[in-house]
Amino acid sequence: MELTYETMQLELELKRALEQEEFRLYYQPKVNLGTGKIEGMEALIRWEHPDKGLVPPIEFISFAEETGLIIPMGEWVLRTACSQTKKWLKAGLSPMVMSVNLSVRQLYQPNLVERVNQILKESELDPKYLELEITESMMMDQEHTLDILKGLKRLGVQISLDDFGTGYSSLHYLHEFPIDKIKIDQSFIRKCTANPENAAIVKSIITMARGLKMIVVAEGIETKDNLIFLQNHSCQLGQGYFFSMPLPAEELIPYFVQIEQIVPQEGISPKTYNEMLMQQALESTRQELHTIMKQQQGMTFKVIKEKERFIYTLCDGRLMQRMGLTSDQVIGKELKDFMPLEGVEEKTKYFHRAWEGEENVTYVGEFNGVYYITSLSPIRNGNQVEGIIGSCVDVTELKKVNEALTLSESKYRIITENMLELVVTLDAEGKILYISPSHEKVLGYSPKIYEGYLGSDLVHPEDIANLRTVYYSIIESKASCQIEYRYRHVRGEWITVEAQISPVFDEKGELEYLIVVGRNITKRKKDEELKQKSERLTAIHQMALSVAHEIRNPLTTIKGFVQLMKKGSETPFYIETVLNEVKRLEGIVSDFLLLAEPQNDPFKEVDVTVLIHQVLEKFHAKALLNNIKMIMRNDFEIPAIYCNESQIKQVFSHILQNALEALPNGGIVKVQLLGQDGHHIKIRFIDNGYGMSEERLKKIGELFYSTKEKGTGLGFMICQKIIQTHNGKMEIKSKVNKGTMVDVILPIGKGK
Ligand code: C2E
Ligand code: MG
Ligand code: MG
């Protein structure tokens, strides 16, 4: 504003007016257009100027805004209006809401919410009796205004939107702001009966506000026509000169009774007004019902019977849309008009049943790929059925899930019915929870009868102890375990089962159940036994042949020489030869004795290092004699091995014996102890003797094949057998004229 002498003067005067308390508050009632009762008051400021008399707000409000004087002025208005309301309440006047106008500047006052709260406290007024009027222009800064309004609402104060329709009328913010009332601007009201456009605007504002659940106030009601028009359009509250001019509090009170008579005397009768309100409520309920019908997930319909035909009179819901139908295709039509014929006849039967009076006639239907369940019930008027109501629920998803379930169930059934694995689940006590159908095939009895029994009821008594040990170790280690035991077949024979037992723990870590998956290995076991037996037989057979052969050779020689000796020629030479052949026979026999040596010496823990030293000691003299150096290396802390000591000694002696024999002209024999994989050790014997060719290596395990010129070859076979019974391995590598390397691998600890 341009600074002039006048404006400077006005500012000074306004300041003085505040100090000298020249402002007055006038009050204008707000009347309920149904009952005529005064339900609210608007506080309007006046300036009692010493010279100019009563100055209306239009002449100083905007100036007070610009100078900031509106802040102290606004606080004065609030304080005065609140304490006036409190006074009226105390005086016993019927409760009313006091409206106070807020200016934009006040909205930007940093502590507005606090100030309002403070003033309410000081005047001891319940916040529900205070209403603040804001204007549309204040909505421009949406975020800020929204914050302030929310703060005010939290206090419990009501908000009303003044002069609606004149300002920044964006309908978008209306439902976002916490607004309780809309005041239709007086410019629309005054001409609402004369000007059809204004009438239309007023009507639509009322409808919209109702839709938003806000109360509508019409300001500037000046005539009876205005009143009736607004009543007819069910506007709730009214304000204007027709009821009362704004007046000072003490002048207004005497008119209260008179004011409250205006609506009953001048307006439409309360009965008509109420009927109209009812009508409107009915209409809005109908609208709401329609919306609900349309928005419902399912579908609701009504049919009536006309000339033996069932005609749809109502149908709506999202299910109908999903079926690809519109209300137009259904309403006024029969089933056969929109449904495929094959379903019509059946559904008509259900319709007849409901028409006969049966409640909840239910059927499942399908339309355009949508599955639904319909429930029909008769609509009665007294004893007469006058329609059928049907409600449908979409079950397509359910149907899909069901199909998938049946599918997976049948797959699962095929598997469980055809598998040969024996599956059992046991609870923590060992009771059978589930037992697979395969038990019937493998063990011959119906598994059902065993549910609830102890799992051990089926097991061979000799295997129960072992099974128990395994059970406890599974619980302790929480790891699954493999075990072999025997099950009783229904015929009484025993079935050997190899099973994996796995524990399943709950979230607290406690055993929930055990899953046992077993396989019948009876046949495999029998086959293995047979194979072993036949292998043994073949070996014996082979041995018998070889022994016969080996013995026949020297025997033939002896026989020949003895015959020659009988003739009496060159006796000493013959005797020498015969003795050699007898020695050979002795060799064969001693090798056999080795084979027959007791194999079941007790197993015990043996320190291998000590054992090797003892064996090396045995060969010490012979090595010295043949210029052979024996070296022992030990790179590894050797734990004890669990073995038959004399057998292992026998193996090592045999290997060393061969090594020394491979070095007729001297050389080196090394023995090395190596760690293998944490569970095994490796004892390596290396010599740099004449070695063996590949063919010889291949045949080394065969009976009577010897690396030496003499001997039976039984030695290697025996060594292999011994190492095998210790769950170990023997590996030989050799190169002609380079040497031979023998690795003996043995398990550490108990091994088995
Ligand atoms: P408003 O809040 O829309 O107030 C209604 C105005 O219409 C009042 O004018 C009132 O006297 C007048 N009025 C009421 N019924 C009728 C009617 O039937 N016919 C006609 N022609 N007029 C009617 P008033 O008191 O001159 O106030 C004018 C404006 O000044 C108010 O409009 C309001 O915006 C502002 N105002 C008044 N008091 C305060 C106040 O304390 N603080 C602030 N910030 N603004 C105020
Ligand atoms: Mg106002
Ligand atoms: Mg107004």
Distance, CA of 140 to CA of 252 (rounded, Å): 36
Q: Same structural domain for residues 199 and 93?
A: yes
Q: Same structural domain for residues 205 and 147?
A: yes
Distance, CA of 225 to CA of 194 (rounded, Å): 10
Ligand 1 centre to CA of 690 (Å) is 128
Ligand 1 centre to CA of 99 (Å) is 11
Domain CATH for 654:
3.30.565.10
Q: Same structural domain for residues 484 and 538?
A: no
Q: Are 530 and 524 in contact (CB under 8 A)?
A: no
Residue owning the nearest CA to atom 30 of ligand 1: 57
Question: Which residues are within 8 A (CB) of 618 and not within 5 positions of it... i.e. 6 or more apart?
Answer: 653
Ligand 2 centre to CA of 94 (Å) is 22
| Tens-digit pLDDT profile for residues 709-719 | 444 566 777 78
The ligand minimizing its distance to the Cα of 102 is 1
Place of tokens 């006036």: 84
CA distance between the termini of the chain = 107
Ligand 1 centre to CA of 163 (Å) is 10
What number does the ligand 1 atom closest to the CA of 57 have? 30
What number does the ligand 1 atom closest to the CA of 219 have? 15
pLDDT at residue 95, as a whole number: 93
Site to substitute for ligand 1 among 44, 70, 105, 225, most atoms within 8 A of C-beta: 44
Place of tokens 């009895």: 445
pLDDT at residue 711, as a whole number: 47
Ligand 2 centre to CA of 97 (Å) is 13
| Tens-digit pLDDT profile for residues 199-231 | 999 999 998 888 888 999 999 999 999 999 999
Query: How many domains would you assign to the chain?
Result: 5
Q: Same structural domain for residues 499 and 542?
A: no
Domain CATH for 552:
1.10.287
Give me Rg for the CA atoms of the chain. 57
The ligand minimizing its distance to the Cα of 160 is 2
Ligand 2 centre to CA of 102 (Å) is 8
Domain extent, residue 669, equals: 604-747
Site to substitute for ligand 1 among 60, 101, 241, most atoms within 8 A of C-beta: 101
Of 257, 281, 305, at which residue does a domain stop? 281
The ligand minimizing its distance to the Cα of 131 is 2
Q: Same structural domain for residues 183 and 77?
A: yes
Place of tokens 């339309």: 367
Ligand 3 centre to CA of 518 (Å) is 90
Ligand 3 centre to CA of 167 (Å) is 11
The ligand minimizing its distance to the Cα of 56 is 1
Cβ count within 10 A of residue 566: 8
Residue 409 lies in a domain: no
What number does the ligand 1 atom closest to the CA of 74 have? 42
Q: Report which residue type is found at 724.
A: Q
Residue owning the nearest CA to atom 17 of ligand 1: 220
Phi and psi, residue 737, nearest 5°: 65, 10
What number does the ligand 1 atom closest to the CA of 65 have? 44
Domain CATH for 81:
3.20.20.450
What number does the ligand 1 atom closest to the CA of 45 have? 38
What number does the ligand 1 atom closest to the CA of 103 have? 44
Q: Same structural domain for residues 59 and 208?
A: yes
Biggest alpha carbon–alpha carbon distance for the chain: 183
Distance, CA of 81 to CA of 98 (rounded, Å): 7
pLDDT at residue 2, as a whole number: 64
Distance, CA of 714 to CA of 691 (rounded, Å): 19
User: Of 303, 306, 331, which Cα lies nearest the Cα of 316?
Assistant: 331
Residue owning the nearest CA to atom 27 of ligand 1: 57
3-state secondary structure of 699: helix
Residue 217 lies in a domain: yes
The ligand minimizing its distance to the Cα of 239 is 1
Q: Same structural domain for residues 462 and 551?
A: no
Residues with CB under 6 A from ligand 1: 28, 44-45, 56-58, 61, 77, 101, 103, 133, 162-163, 186, 219-222, 240-241, 246
pTM over 0.85: no
Ligand 1 centre to CA of 120 (Å) is 23
Distance, CA of 88 to CA of 29 (rounded, Å): 13
Q: Report which residue type is found at 293.
A: M
Residue 596 lies in a domain: no
Distance, CA of 351 to CA of 310 (rounded, Å): 8
Question: Half-sphere exposure (CA, 13 Å, Cβ side) for 452?
Answer: 2
Torsion angle, CA of 490/494/500/503, rounded to 10 degrees? 60
Residue 9 lies in a domain: no
Distance, CA of 191 to CA of 351 (rounded, Å): 58
Both structure tokens of 13: 């005067």
Residue 405 lies in a domain: no
Ligand 3 centre to CA of 241 (Å) is 13
Q: Same structural domain for residues 393 and 308?
A: yes
The ligand minimizing its distance to the Cα of 133 is 2
Both structure tokens of 259: 């004011």
Residue 505 lies in a domain: yes
Domain CATH for 345:
3.30.450.20
Sheet containing 739-747, strands listed edge to edge, beginning at the edge strand earlier in sequence: 628-634, 667-675, 680-687, 739-747, 729-735
Q: Are 457 and 431 in contact (CB under 8 A)?
A: no
Residue 569 lies in a domain: yes
Residue owning the nearest CA to atom 10 of ligand 1: 246
Torsion angle, CA of 616/622/627/630, rounded to 10 degrees? 0
Phi and psi, residue 455, nearest 5°: -60, -30
Helix axes 270-295, 224-232, angle to 10 degrees: 30
Q: Are 646 and 725 in contact (CB under 8 A)?
A: no
Question: Which residues are within 8 A (CB) of 259 and not within 5 positions of it... i.e. 6 or more apart?
Answer: 29, 31, 38, 243, 244
Ligand 1 centre to CA of 202 (Å) is 20
Q: Same structural domain for residues 390 and 424?
A: no
Distance, CA of 86 to CA of 89 (rounded, Å): 5
Ligand 2 centre to CA of 99 (Å) is 7
pLDDT at residue 36, as a whole number: 94
| Tens-digit pLDDT profile for residues 119-153 | 999 999 999 999 999 998 888 888 889 999 999 99
Q: Same structural domain for residues 173 and 257?
A: yes
Q: Same structural domain for residues 166 and 60?
A: yes
Residue 501 lies in a domain: yes
Distance, CA of 685 to CA of 615 (rounded, Å): 12
Residue owning the nearest CA to atom 34 of ligand 1: 101
Q: Same structural domain for residues 139 and 269?
A: yes
Ligand 1 centre to CA of 103 (Å) is 12
Residue owning the nearest CA to atom 43 of ligand 1: 101
Residue owning the nearest CA to atom 7 of ligand 1: 220
Both structure tokens of 120: 């309410």
Residue owning the nearest CA to atom 35 of ligand 1: 57
pLDDT at residue 713, as a whole number: 60
Residues of the chain under the 50 pLDDT cut? 598, 705-711, 751-752
